[in-house]
A and B are shown apart, each in its own frame.
Chain A
Amino acid sequence: MASLATNANSALTTAMVVDKSNFEAVIARELPVLYRVALRLCLNPTVAEDVVGLTLVRAVGAWDRFDGQYERSWLLTILRREYLAHIRRASSSELSLDSFTQDGVEIPSGDTNATDKIDLERALAALDDIDRTLIILSDIEEMGAKEISEITGIYPATVRTRIFRARQRLRRILLSFGENL
């Protein structure tokens, strides 16, 4: 009986070690995506790091319940929730374009390509939360409609239409910057 209990305990310990290493491996693999998405959403590297940090804490707490499929979507769903919680807490000034251009990106001078990129960064930052999320997931991270639907909670059949509209708004903002689109 004692032997059975020891074996069961040993199996449990082995399972936990596997889980632990899996989680670490998943995080190591997905961290660049999480950070990139958080940076574009939060518009500030410090805030982005906080949001990713909170995401990882929530994720480890929910790791037992994770079904093991589509880890990126699962993590990004948590990240988006943390981001929304953050914007509820944060003052609007923290999310201003000024803070983005001061802290978020370094603006080189005299480089047309870089200037275009900065305009695109600024236009993306000027979109509302949901449009920005759609563009980030669809056009930067190249995720499919099904995954985007899971992350954002938008009805799958309307995801593509919402993406088209978000792109239209992004182009409109770029035009207002004088971008030759």
Chain B
Amino acid sequence: MSSQHDCCSHMTRFLHDEAEAKTPWLISKYVQAHVARCTPCRKTLESLRRLLTGLKEFRQTPIPDDAKDRLMNGKWRGALTDDADTKGN
């Protein structure tokens, strides 16, 4: 990628969809055929796949146990109790 691999402008959406594995079968075949002969688009697709793989790993970020405890027992719980008491009366 020169700076962004300068992929073909008409391929942008297809490349993003393909990187997300969201392209229908026929369009996927078209994208594969295109990237086989177009280096900038191939590099863009590879780059997008690496990027999305890296980003997906962030889903593994756990919530720390102490933060979880504080949040599960936070002010909202009092508001819930107050609300129930008000309605109950």
B83 and A170 within 8 A (CB): no
Which of chain A's residues have a CB closer than 8 A to the CB of B79? Answer: 57, 60-61
B84 and A16 within 8 A (CB): yes
CB distance from A12 to the nearest CB of B (A): 7
Q: Is A81 at the interface (CB under 8 A from chain B)?
A: no
Which of chain A's residues have a CB closer than 8 A to the CB of B87? Answer: 12, 16
Which of chain B's residues have a CB closer than 8 A to the CB of A121? Answer: 58
A164 and B71 within 8 A (CB): no
> What 1/0 flags go to A57-69 for Cβ under 8 Å of B?
1011101000000
Q: Is A154 at the interface (CB under 8 A from chain B)?
A: no
- Of the residues B56, B71, B80, contact of A139 by C-beta under 8 Å: B56
Check A139/B52 contact, CB under 8 A, given A12-B87, A35-B67, A60-B79.
yes
A54's nearest neighbour on chain B, judged by CB, is: B75
A36 and B63 within 8 A (CB): yes
Which of chain B's residues have a CB closer than 8 A to the CB of A49? Answer: 67, 70-71
CB distance from A104 to the nearest CB of B (A): 10
A-side interface mostly:
helix
Interface residues on chain A, size class:
35 or more
| Residues B1-27 near A (CB distance < 8 A) | 1, 3-4, 12-13, 16
Check A36/B80 contact, CB under 8 A, given A57-B75, A160-B13, A172-B4.
no
CB distance from A147 to the nearest CB of B (A): 15
CB distance from B63 to the nearest CB of A (A): 4
Q: Is B36 at the interface (CB under 8 A from chain A)?
A: no
B72 and A28 within 8 A (CB): yes
Check A140/B47 contact, CB under 8 A, given A60-B76, A167-B16, A175-B3.
no
B-side interface mostly:
helix
B82's nearest neighbour on chain A, judged by CB, is: A60
Q: Is A171 at the interface (CB under 8 A from chain B)?
A: yes
| Residues A142-180 near B (CB distance < 8 A) | 142, 160, 163-164, 167-168, 170-172, 174-175
A164 and B12 within 8 A (CB): yes
Q: Is B29 at the interface (CB under 8 A from chain A)?
A: no
> What residues of chain A have their CB less than 8 Å away from a CB belonging to chain B?
12-13, 16, 20, 23-24, 27-28, 31-32, 35-36, 39-40, 45, 49, 52-53, 56-57, 59-61, 63, 116-117, 120-121, 124, 135, 139-142, 160, 163-164, 167-168, 170-172, 174-175, 181
**Cβ-closest 10 pairs across A and B:** A56-B76, A35-B63, A139-B55, A60-B76, A181-B47, A60-B79, A140-B58, A57-B76, A120-B54, A53-B74
